[in-house]
Amino acid sequence: MQFNRKHLLGLEELSSDEIRMILDTAVPFKEISERQIKKVPVLRGKTIVNLFFEPSTRTRISFEFAEKRLSADTVNVNVSTSSVSKGETLVDMARNLEAMKIDMVVIRHAASGAPAFLAQRIDSNVINAGDGWHEHPTQGLLDMLTIRDHFGKLDGLKVAIVGDVIHSRVARSNIWGLQKMGAQVGVCGPPTLVPASLKELGVKIYSRIEDVLSEVDVVNVLRIQLERMHSNMFPSLGEYNRLYGISTARLEAAGRDVLILHPGPMNRGVEIDSDVADGEHQVILEQVTNGVAVRMAVLFLLAGGKQAGAAEATEMRGE
């Protein structure tokens, strides 16, 4: 089966078959990162530019590892020392990069829609690495792969997204992706951080974290994004932790095995307590490991690769 998309801009526009294809393609790619020589020639000769206009640890480094493990040539643009600081526009910058014969652009930008805007104006494949409050599709995919690894399925699971939903592109990609894959999605947090309009998408809105923990299979804990809050949206971080923080005491009181995810970076002691962040319920570093495989799968499929069949498996083995 062929993946017939030129860009990955969000999970809203993907079908369940396309999401399943990316997740299934990521599975054999996981093994490559376990090898002593972590490299296959799948994207040999392809040139990929990573354009991060916002800070990132996991996504930027994970894309770079994915590109290098597939043998692509990669360039990380340091936006702060580029000619953007002299007023060059995003499109002019990208067209100049294309004049140097690149194949793909991975972009993170503070403006929602910046990757889609670019995709309409350049010939290269564009991958959204997080745009404003809109979507973070590879994070949604790696979250789904991690949940599927644990439960063997997504269909029928109850997943809650807890915290700063309103500012979260991770929440939007999770909601689109998980619902398409048959999961029931809920959200919980202070009313100022949870848009009531999510009900129209079929998302259940919880007001009490205790109700979440007594009902759901998975909690995806979101970071409180203080850098995107221009007014006080709740009284204090201490009060947020008291009302919504995920703690061992709360998990024990629920008396159920709830899988805990967090996209990172974490505010320990605010949305998640350290004993949970390092404890037995969480799969936070598995998410990070799966991120490399998911990004390898996305790069491979956008470059025209087919879902791993015999020929691709041979190529992945480097034979």
Comparing CB distances to ligand CP, the nearer of 195 and 264 is: 264
Nearest residue (CB) to ligand CP, 168 versus 179:
168
Nearest approach in angstroms of CB 59 to ligand CP is 3
Smallest gap from Cβ 119 to ligand CP, in A, equals 20
Distance of alpha carbon 225 from alpha carbon 50, whole angstroms: 23
When the beta carbons of 11 and 40 are compared against ligand CP, the nearer one is 11
CB of 137 to ligand CP, least distance (A): 11
Residue 71 CA: distances (Å) to CA of 38, 199, 262, 314: 10, 44, 30, 15
The Cβ-side half-sphere exposure at 31, using a 13 Å CA radius, reads: 7
| Residues tagged active-site | 58-59, 86, 108, 136
Nearer to ligand CP, 58 or 250 (CB): 58
- How many angstroms separate the CA atoms of 151 and 156, rounded? 11
In angstroms, give the least distance from the CB of 264 to ligand CP: 5
Cα separations (Å) of 228 from 51, 167, 193, 224, 265? Answer: 21, 7, 11, 9, 15
Closer residue to ligand CP (CB): 84 or 288: 288
* Least distance from ligand CP to the Cβ atom of residue 60, Å: 6
At 73, is the secondary structure helix, strand, or coil?
strand
Instruction: Give the interface with ligand CP as residue ranges (CB under 6 A).
Output: 56-59, 130, 136, 139, 263-265
Distance CA 291, CA 23 (A): 11
The per-residue b/e assignment along 59-78, b for 16 or more CB within 10 angstroms, e otherwise, is bbebbbbbbebbebebebbe
Query: At its nearest, how many Å lie between ligand CP and the CB of residue 139?
Result: 5
| 25 contact partners, CB below 8 Å, separation of at least 6 | 297, 300, 301, 305, 307, 308
- Give whichever of 42 and 135 is closer to ligand CP, judged by the CB atom: 135
**3 state DSSP class of 276:** helix
- The 3-state DSSP class for residue 261 equals strand
Q: Render the burial of 148-172: b for 16+ CB within 10 Å, e for the rest.
A: bbeeeebeebbbbbbbbbbbbbbbb
Strand partners, 204: 186
CA separation for the pair 72, 39 (Å, rounded): 10
